[in-house]
Structure 1
Amino acid sequence: MFTGLSAFPLTPFRGEKIDEKAFGGIIRRLAQAQVDSIGVLGSTGSYMYLDREERRRAVELASAHAGSTPVIAGIGALRTRDVLALAEDAQAAGASGVLLAPVSYQPLTEDETFSLYEQVSRELSVPLCVYDNPRTTKFTFTDELHGRIAALPNVGSIKIPGVPDDPAKARQRIQRLRSQIPGHVTIGVSGDRFAAAGINAGCDGWYSVLGGLFPRTCREIVQAASSGRYPEAAALSDRLEPLWSLFDRFGSLRPAAAIAIQLGLMEGPGLPLPLAPLPPSELKEIADLLDSLE
C-alpha cells in the first residue's frame, strides 16, 4: 500500500456540498488505472476545509468506489482529540491506512509533534503514513524525529516533500533518513517534479497530485524509475516541466482543479469556498501537453 504510485485526487464540490457523483467517478478512474493506492483527503483533497461528517463521507465514498485498491485517508486536524475521532471514522468507513500531518495554528514543537503521533498511533488498527509537508504546516521534521516516530506502533511510511536535484545528494538524503527508521517503514516522495529523482534515489513510491489526474502517465514514470530505467523516467518527467512550473507558481491545488474541470472530471468551480481554480487562461500554454497525456 505504501509503495508504487499513490494517487491523490481532488474532493470535488458542487456549491457547498461534496459532488458525490463526480468524486465516485474520479475514484473509479484511478482504480481502473491500477494505481497502487488512492490517497483521499490530502492537501489536494482540501481536507482542512471539510468538517468531520464531510470527511467521513468522503472516505466512505472512496472505499465504495475503489474496489480492491487500498484507500489512505487524511486525518490531520488542529487538536489531538479531533485527529483521534477522524481516525476512528476513517477506519470505520473502510480506509486501509491513514495519513497524518502535524497541522497547527500555533507552530508545534518537536515534543508536541511526537506526542501527537504517539497518541494516535497506539489507537489505530491500520497503518499510518507520516505526512512531512513543511510548506503547508510550517513544521520541519528532523531525521531524528522521524526515527522516533517511525519506531511507534502502526507507523508504516513517511511522505517526504522532495529530494535534491543532484542524484548523489538525493541518494545521500534518502540513505540518511533510512538509517534512522525501521526497515519496514517505507519512504515516499511527494513533490511531483521530484518523483523520478526520488525513486531513483531509493524512495519506495510516489505520493502524487498529478496521479490523481493522469494516473497512467504517472505509472509510466514510477515503473521506469523502479525498474532502474532512470534516463527514461527522467525524460518522462522532464516532458511535464510546463506542469511542474505551473505547480511551482501556484501550488498544486488550484491548477489541479482547473485541469480536472477541463478534463470533465468535475464541474467548476469545484472547490470549497473561498478557494477557486486557476482561470482557464492559465492553462492555454500547456493545452497541447494536457491533450497528449493519458
Structure 2
Amino acid sequence: MVRGLSAFLLTPTSEHGIDTAAYAALVARLAAAGVDSIGALGSTGGYAYLTRQQRAHAAKTAVEAADGIPVIVGIGALRTSHVLELAEDAQKAGASAVLLAPMTYQPLTEDEVFGLYEDVTRELSVPLCVYDNPGTTHVHFTDELHGRIAQLPNIGSIKIPGVPDDPRRAELRVDALRKLIPDTVTIGVSGDWTAARGLNSGCDAWYSVIGGTFPQTALALTRAAQAGHSATATELSEGLEPLWALFRRHGSLRVMSAAAAHLGLTGEPNLPLPLRGLDETARREVVATLDALELTS
C-alpha cells in the first residue's frame, strides 16, 4: 500500500469553483518530482468544502495529470451514503486508493466509527487509508479501534497524527500500533514537523502537507529516512523549523495557500469561503521564511 512520500496538495478554489488549470499543474509538478503517491482532496485539499460534482472533477483531473503516479482520493463526508457515492466517483476516476476521515457533527461512538469503515470497505475495490486526524475531525481513535478496523477488507494504511517528541517514545508508539494490525496495513505519519521522527521510528510513509507544494524538499527528507540515514532526516527537518513554527501558529493549510500564491502556482483567492488566507503581516512572515530557507521546490 502507501509507502514513502505521499504528497497532499491544495485544491485551488474560489467562489467561482476550482481552478482546474492550476490544479492540474500542481499535480503534474508532483508527478515530475517523483513523489511516491499524490493525495487529492485531503484536508489540505479542502474536500469538506466542495460539492460532489467538484470532488469528482478534482479526482478525475488529478488522475489524468498524475502521469501514472498513484492518486489517493479523499472521500470523507457526514453521511455514509454520501461517502459511498464519493467512493464510487473516486474509483470511476481511476484512484489507486481512497482516504477516509470520519467526519461528524454529533459525537460518534467507537461502534459508529467502526460501522462507517465496515460499510464503506464492503463496497470498495481499491485500498482504503484510515485518516486519524483528531485535531480536525475531533474523532479520537484508540489503537484497539485501529486494530478492529484494520481487519476489514481493503484496509491498506493508517494515517496517524504526529508521534511523540522523544525518539524512544515515538518508536514505542509505532510499535504498539504495529502489533495490532496486519502486516499488509502500512502506517503513515502526518504532522509535518514530526515526520522525520515518525519515519525514523518505523512509519512506512509520510502523508505530507509540505510535499504538496515543495516535493523535492519533502523527498530529500523521506529518502534519507528510507535509506536509514536517520540523523540526516532529523537534520533536514530541524532546518525547516521556521516553516514548522508557521504551521503551528497559523495552520499548515493557510501557510501553504500563501506559499503557493507567492510562487505563482495558484491565483488568489485559492481557498473556499469561509476560509480566508493569511493577513498581510503573516503573509510577509511566510515569504520571508521561504526566502530564508530558499524553498522553491
User: What interval of TM-score do these two structures reach, taking the shorter chain for normalisation?
Assistant: over 0.9
Verify: 1:3 aligned to 2:3, yes or no. Answer: yes
* Alpha carbons 2:41, 2:73 under 8 Å: kept: yes
Matched residue, 1:97: 97
Once the two structures are superposed, residues 228-258 of structure 1 have per-residue CA deviations (whole angstroms, 9 ceiling, x without a partner) of 1111101100111011011101111111100
* Alpha carbons 1:71, 1:95 under 8 Å: kept: yes
Verify: 1:286 aligned to 2:289, yes or no. Answer: yes
Query: With structure 1 as the length reference, what TM-score do the two structures score?
Result: 0.98
Q: Quick one: distance in 2 between partners of 1:22 and 1:289? A: 26
Matched residue, 1:211: 211
Relative to structure 1, is the Cα distance of residues 217 and 172 closer, same or farther in structure 2, using a 3 angstrom cutoff?
same
Q: Which amino acid aligns with 2:125?
A: S
Q: Which amino acid aligns with 1:105?
A: Y
Q: How far has the Cα of 1:276 moved from its partner?
A: 1.6
Q: How far has the Cα of 1:283 moved from its partner?
A: 1.7
Matched residue, 1:250: 250
Once the two structures are superposed, residues 62-108 of structure 1 have per-residue CA deviations (whole angstroms, 9 ceiling, x without a partner) of 01100110000000000000000000010001111000001101111
Q: Quick one: distance in 2 between partners of 1:51 and 1:202? A: 37
Q: How far has the Cα of 1:289 moved from its partner?
A: 3.1
Q: Quick one: distance in 1 between partners of 2:86 and 2:292? A: 38
Once the two structures are superposed, residues 87-146 of structure 1 have per-residue CA deviations (whole angstroms, 9 ceiling, x without a partner) of 001000111100000110111110000000000001000000000000011111000100
Verify: 1:110 aligned to 2:110, yes or no. Answer: yes
Indicate the RMSD between aligned Cα atoms, in angstroms.
1.0
* Alpha carbons 1:75, 1:98 under 8 Å: kept: yes
Q: How far has the Cα of 1:290 moved from its partner?
A: 4.8
* Alpha carbons 2:290, 2:296 under 8 Å: kept: no
Could you say what secondary structure the match of 2:294 adopts?
helix
Q: How far has the Cα of 1:293 moved from its partner?
A: 4.3
Could you say what secondary structure the match of 1:129 adopts?
strand
Q: Quick one: distance in 2 between partners of 1:132 and 1:253? A: 17
Structure 1 residue runs of 5 or longer lacking an equivalent are none
Q: Which amino acid aligns with 2:66?
A: A
Matched residue, 1:32: 32
Matched residue, 2:272: 272
Q: Quick one: distance in 1 between partners of 2:30 and 2:248? A: 24
Q: Which amino acid aligns with 2:123?
A: E
Matched residue, 1:66: 66
Q: Quick one: distance in 2 between partners of 1:31 and 1:80? A: 32
* Alpha carbons 1:16, 1:272 under 8 Å: kept: no
Structure 2 residue runs of 5 or longer lacking an equivalent are none
Q: Which amino acid aligns with 1:67?
A: D
Matched residue, 1:86: 86
Q: Quick one: distance in 1 between partners of 2:104 and 2:134? A: 11
Relative to structure 1, is the Cα distance of residues 167 and 7 closer, same or farther in structure 2, using a 3 angstrom cutoff?
same
Matched residue, 1:133: 133
Once the two structures are superposed, residues 151-193 of structure 1 have per-residue CA deviations (whole angstroms, 9 ceiling, x without a partner) of 0000000000110111111000000000000011000001100
Q: How far has the Cα of 1:15 moved from its partner?
A: 3.7
Tell me the matched-pair count. Answer: 294
Relative to structure 1, is the Cα distance of residues 129 and 22 closer, same or farther in structure 2, using a 3 angstrom cutoff?
same
Could you say what secondary structure the match of 1:235 adopts?
helix
Q: How far has the Cα of 1:16 moved from its partner?
A: 2.3
Could you say what secondary structure the match of 1:5 adopts?
strand
Query: With structure 2 as the length reference, what TM-score do the two structures score?
Result: 0.97
Verify: 1:238 aligned to 2:238, yes or no. Answer: yes
Q: Quick one: distance in 2 between partners of 1:46 and 1:284? A: 22
Q: Quick one: distance in 2 between partners of 1:98 and 1:47? A: 13
Relative to structure 1, is the Cα distance of residues 289 and 53 closer, same or farther in structure 2, using a 3 angstrom cutoff?
same
- 1:189-204 matches, cutoff 5 A: 189-204=189-204
